[in-house]
Structure 1
Amino acid sequence: MSFVGRLAFVTGGGSGIGKAACQLLAKEGASVVVADKVVKNVNETINSIPSSPTQMHLGIDLHVEKSESVGNALLQMLEKYSKPPTIIVNCAGITRDNFLLKLSEEDFEEVIDVNLKGTFLVMKTFGKSIVDHGITNASIINIGSIVGKYGNIGQTNYTASKAGVELLTRTASQELGKMGIRVNTILPGMISTPIVETVPEKVQEKFMSMIPLKRFGRPEEVAEVIAFLASDKSSYITGASITVTGGF
């Protein structure tokens, strides 16, 4: 597939699935905006993605849970490209794991703010700009999680946030479809990312025993699904939730 001439915006682009998505979209010809709250990681991703005379990449310091930061990100893009992106990938996410009875209100709110509210703010801000510019072919891909369907011990905040992302996506797809904006969710399982590396070894072993393919996924494997949903090959898919779990 080719994304030559397309502009992509990826939150959480500094590491994990977001970084892999940036690399693949750029490889296929897109101009990529790498957005992350860790500037060092943004620069590393920018330096790792291919470019050509037809591509202009950009790195942005972004805190998705802050509406001002999201608005500034859009302004920076409009100043550089004179148009909003037609590919939006919401990968930014955090964990603050603890058992329900020990989980602090602050840790609950922070995870909801970044994972759920952040996805909402990006969709609203950039979706409005897409409509205002009269663009009628755009794709928003949100990263949920398989644990948002089934729950996971020690992650009441994270599972709630990811369940919210999935239903936020389905509703947004119904509202934005008539404007030519497709909205889909990817539900990864255990993928070898910095977040998964924080999971205790015993818990990782438990998950491994439940995966028919007997391995964790790679960020690049999720990126391939992101690219499919961003492309015209998925032109009749919206409101969908696609699991990438190795059969978990």
Structure 2
Amino acid sequence: MPKQSTKMSGLQCLASENIWFDKHSYDEAEKCFYEGANGPSTQAKMALQQPKGRQQRPRNRNSSSHGGGDQELVSRMKSMEVENHTLHKVVAEMRAALQKLELRVATLEKSPAGVPSPKAVPVNAAPVKQVQNGGDEDFDDDDDMDLFGSDEDDEEAERLKQERLDAYAAKKSKKPALIAKSSLLLDVKPWDDETDMAKLEECVRSVQMDGLLWGASKLVPVGYGIKKLQITCVVEDDKVGTDILEEELTKFEDFIQSVDVAAFNKI
């Protein structure tokens, strides 16, 4: 009985232990221990050598990029040389044209103003000389005229001149003079919305002056139920002024608050 009891207790102890369930972790720990004692394994060495190979690749890329950058720089320098050559050529042509222009101006300044150049001489210069000679012949004919009747001719010419002047003055006096006129557009504003606008327009048209002519009118809403009267008129500038017209209209102070000139045009 005692032996069986001891066996049962040992089995119970082993059943309570969980070391066999964590065997995998113990195996990994043992493996790491031996790798640390004997040095890194071949896989670890390969893992350590792999980054070196990776570091060498960017160097090759950088070298290729540097080579491409050098080629681009060389191509740019060639294009700049070609452009510089063309610019030098254009500048040389402009200098040559400027020198020709300066020489031409210098020759024009040296030539006298009164003497025309051979190109400027007209082709029909000879006929002009003939006309001048013909004029000299006319003067010779005048020398042969009788000088005793010169006073009578002067009096007749003076009389004809005076008659023409008198006829021109009479014709000018009969022509009607132009009268300066202007077209006005007036804004006549009432005091409030209770103002009788028909009576207001009647008051406006009751103003009569020499040179004043009233035209069309209409009511224009201003706001809050208030309307203003827009009326046109034609005035003679010498007889009717805007200030006088405003004074005459504002005399109807029971209906009219203010008068403004909205438009002014000359006729």
Task: Report the TM-score when normalising by structure 2.
Answer: 0.15
Structure ID, larger Rg: 2
Higher helix share: 2
* RCO higher in structure (CA 8 A, sep ≥6): 1
TM-score of the superposed pair, with normalisation by structure 1: 0.15
